[in-house]
Structure formats: structure tokens, C-alpha cells
Amino acid sequence: MSFECIAPGVDEIAQFGETPLDLVERLARAKASAVSAQQPNAWVIGSDQIAALDGGQAPLGKPGTEARCHEQLRSCSGRTVEFVTAVAVMRRENNALIEFTDITRVTFRVLDELTIERYVVKEQPLDCAGGFKSEGLGISLCESIDSADPSALIGLPLIRLSAALRAAGFNVP
């Protein structure tokens, strides 16, 4: 399938009282809608992901700096983090919308300061939710990963997305 990546230009700031789950679902839909307004006859995929502690209630976000990344990883040490990913597949022309949400639970091993330092220096995960990249060295920080779709952890649940695209009429192998 041919495709084009288009930046949706959506403000990702959480609204007052919005839970992490509500936030990612709203943003996935808003991103798909923004691009769909430009491409009304195209199927558009919008997605968003957030990492959260405390049963999905305390969002971590993207650290942006090494100091913040260290802080986030310290907070994850020995705990379970929920990576919540929402996807909206939309076609404005016929008002079609397929939505789903994936929650992947990552239990981190206990992390000491030297481990965190080595990881941040080598991986530079400053633009990743929770300061963690499972597709790289971050996997060594894990004790376990509980997920119905392992691809969701890297940002897009491809198993569920494939099913959504088939439901939209695409021949996905």
C-alpha cells in the first residue's frame, strides 16, 4: 500500500481533568481528523501513546532532557508502567471511523543510578514516552512485558491496525 505521512499540527496539551486514557484517545481522533480534513477521500491513521504509572493515572510523557529522563526512569524502577496507545482510522468522505486502544504493561527491574546513566547515554531516549525504548537497549531494563500486541510498545499496535485496515476493506496479507 502506498501512503504519505502528514503532520497533523494538533496541540497535545492535556485538558483539565483529562485522564491519560482520555488524552490519547482524543489526540488519536484529533490527529486523524486534522489530516482527514485535508485528504477527505483517503483513509487516515491517527495515533498517540502515553506512559503512565499508578494504574494509568500518572502520565510520564517524553522527558526531553537527560535529567528528566533519569528522574522518569528512577520513578519506573521496580514498578509497572502502562503504555497506552490509541488509534483512530478515519475516512471523512463517508464518515467512517474505526478506533481502538491498547494497553501494554511493562514491569521494570530495580534500576540503580549507574544503570540509568549508562542507558540514557547510550540510547538517548529523550523523545520517548517514559524515557524508554523497548526496541533498543531499553529491553534490558525490563522484568516483564504484558501485551496482546508487542508492536504497540514501539508506538503503533500493528496487529490491531492490520485488523482495522482489513475491516476498512484493505487486503492486508
Task: Tell me which residues are annotated as active site.
Answer: 48
Return the half-sphere exposure (C-beta side, CA atoms, 13 A cut-off) of residue 11: 3
Cell numbers at 123, concatenated: 540510547
Question: Which three cell numbers, joined as nine digits, stand for 36?
Answer: 482527514
Residue 84's nearest CA partner among 60, 66, 68 is: 60
Cell (9 digits) for 155: 508506538
Sheet containing 44-53, strands listed edge to edge, beginning at the edge strand earlier in sequence: 58-59, 44-53, 80-91, 96-108, 142-146
- Between CA 66 and CA 91 the distance in angstroms is 40
What 3-state DSSP class applies to 86?
strand
What are the counts of helices (DSSP H) followed by strands (DSSP E) for the chain? 4, 5
Residues forming a β-bridge with 46: 88
